[in-house]
Structure 1
Amino acid sequence: MTTSAENAGNSGQSAMQTPEIVSPKAWEAAREALLVKEKAQTRARDALAAERRRMPWMAVTKQYVFEGPEGKSNLIDLFDGRRQLIVYRAFFEPGVHGWPDHGCRGCSMVADQVAHLSHLNARDTSLVFLSRAPQADIARLKARMGWDIPWFTLTDRFDSDFGVDEWHGTNVFYHDGANVFRTYFINNRGDEQMGSTWNYLDITPLGRQEVWEDSPKGYPQTPTYKWWNWNDSYVAGAVPDKKWVEVSDAGEAAFRNQDTERK
């Protein structure tokens, strides 16, 4: 019997050097060995996010103007009443490959991966995209691609001032009253991973805002998992659902016991 790799070679394709085939017991042992490294990576990622929450902030003193569906907006308007703002500079404008039917393929792939924004919003965080295309073109593109992300038109040097005039990048801001601060920036392969609620929250100054996180004193934190909800059921100021608290508590206990048994 020939392997799939050999069949690939027989058909004229380059043969893949696939891993060895082992017994279920050996496979589980290999998985357990790799799991040790994966858990170490998870802890390292958590530690890096904790360090990120302690990064110094940069005051944003320059005024910027954006065009939105409702007209002109400033930077504070983009927060939409929330404390944190994540801004992705998406390339959709004349001169970009795909114009006028599509935006940049990479930026479009990022947009395709953005999770339901209600979960970010529940953590006092807004996400917006920025491009130089007029609002009419942005609305057309969003309708074609099925995107609900708030998307504004750049009118000044905001992109070049924040490192994203020639390549994709994600900036994070925090506002306290009339004061706006730049807290983080990630680009290149760093923001390839963006899209999930967790990765976005991990680059914000407040983080996931759960009690297990290592955050500076006084930062908002709530019990782990308890704020999670269906995307159509978030209500401002609502207490955690009693049944969900029971379910999540049981799940946490099961995982803790499992980890203890493995040590």
Structure 2
Amino acid sequence: MNTAHRITDRAAYQAELDALRIREKAHTHEGDAIAAARRRLPMVEVDAAAKLIGPDGPVTLLETFEGRRQLIAYYQMWHTGHPAAEQCEGCTFFNSQVRELSYLHVRDITYATFCQGPYEESVRYRDFMGWDVPWYSAAESIDVLMAGRGRFMLACYLRQGDRVFETYWTTGRGVEVMDQTYGLLDRTVYGRQEPWEDSPAGWPRADNIARTNGRPTAQWPRLEAGRSDDLASGR
């Protein structure tokens, strides 16, 4: 047994957990305060007519709201012409965890993936993965919509009539809001097991959770289930 694992009785264990809980609650309250500040940010108008490609062909950014007041869009990275095994493991990790959309819909919010690559090729990836979120190619309008920001991005929009406004965006670790895996791992004794973490000496470390044996990790169960990962047109 690793000596960093101290063993105590339940009373001593609970006393230390109670002290940590004070910090956890403070963290939660600070998160609430940050969210309140986020709701008060100014917004910037974006081109409501920006062109995207969906299942029925060209659509506008405005149309991707599906009539709802707000839109959350995740900008999936794409390596055009590359096989499924070489597609972005980070985007696959985050996008694969946004599944039940009814709770967003009841708040008048649409969630959609805006892929940075061509529609026909990338939607085959969505289908291979078994995702059912609305999927669009934003390739033709990527310079307008992403405006030079991060390689992958999560953005929030507000519709007022026929006008569209961007109200928030984030990238990097900001997109962790999309997943529950890291949150659950953070509650375990070994954490995420990533090199940057502050853990006791001797704690296990692991390779990138999002890629396993040369593929985005979540692809393996799909292949084992017999799904085809062929993204080529007409095959």
| 1:130/1:159 CA distance change after superposition, 3 Å | farther
Query: Which residue of structure 2 aligns with residue 221 of structure 1?
Result: none
CA distance in 2, matches of 1:131, 1:172: 15
8 Å CA contact retained: 1:159, 1:165:
no
CA distance in 1, matches of 2:16, 2:64: 48
Query: Which residue of structure 2 aligns with residue 208 of structure 1?
Result: none
Runs of 5+ unmatched residues, structure 2? 181-235
Matched, 1:51 2:37: yes
SS, match of residue 91 in structure 2: helix
8 Å CA contact retained: 1:84, 1:175:
yes
| 1:100/1:167 CA distance change after superposition, 3 Å | same
CA distance in 2, matches of 1:122, 1:62: 23
Query: Which residue of structure 1 aligns with residue 133 of structure 2?
Result: 149
Superposed, which structure 2 residues align to 1:79-228 within 5 Å? Answer: 79-94=65-80, 99-102=82-85, 103-159=87-143, 161-163=145-147, 167-195=151-179
CA distance in 1, matches of 2:119, 2:145: 22
8 Å CA contact retained: 2:115, 2:139:
no
State the AA in 1 paired with 2:39: R
CA distance in 2, matches of 1:136, 1:88: 18
C-alpha deviation, 1:68, in angstroms: 0.2
Higher Rg: 1
8 Å CA contact retained: 2:155, 2:170:
yes
SS, match of residue 166 in structure 2: strand
SS, match of residue 140 in structure 2: coil
8 Å CA contact retained: 2:48, 2:60:
no
8 Å CA contact retained: 1:115, 1:195:
no
C-alpha deviation, 1:86, in angstroms: 0.8
Decide which of 12, 21, 24 is 1:38's aligned counterpart: 24
CA distance in 2, matches of 1:22, 1:159: 57
* TM-score where L is the length of structure 2: 0.70
C-alpha deviation, 1:165, in angstroms: 6.1
Alignment RMSD (CA, Å) = 2.0
* TM-score where L is the length of structure 1: 0.63
CA distance in 1, matches of 2:17, 2:36: 28
| 1:132/1:45 CA distance change after superposition, 3 Å | closer
8 Å CA contact retained: 2:48, 2:62:
no
Q: Which structure ranks higher in relative contact order (CA pairs < 8 Å, sequence separation ≥ 6)?
A: 2
8 Å CA contact retained: 1:85, 1:127:
yes
Matched, 1:19 2:5: yes
Per-residue Cα deviation, 1:9-55 (whole angstroms, up to 9, x for no partner): xxxxxxxx523111110111111111111011111101110111010
8 Å CA contact retained: 2:42, 2:167:
yes
State the AA in 1 paired with 2:67: G
C-alpha deviation, 1:92, in angstroms: 2.2
C-alpha deviation, 1:164, in angstroms: 5.7
8 Å CA contact retained: 2:48, 2:162:
no
Runs of 5+ unmatched residues, structure 1? 6-16, 197-263
Count of residues paired in the alignment: 179
CA distance in 2, matches of 1:91, 1:128: 14
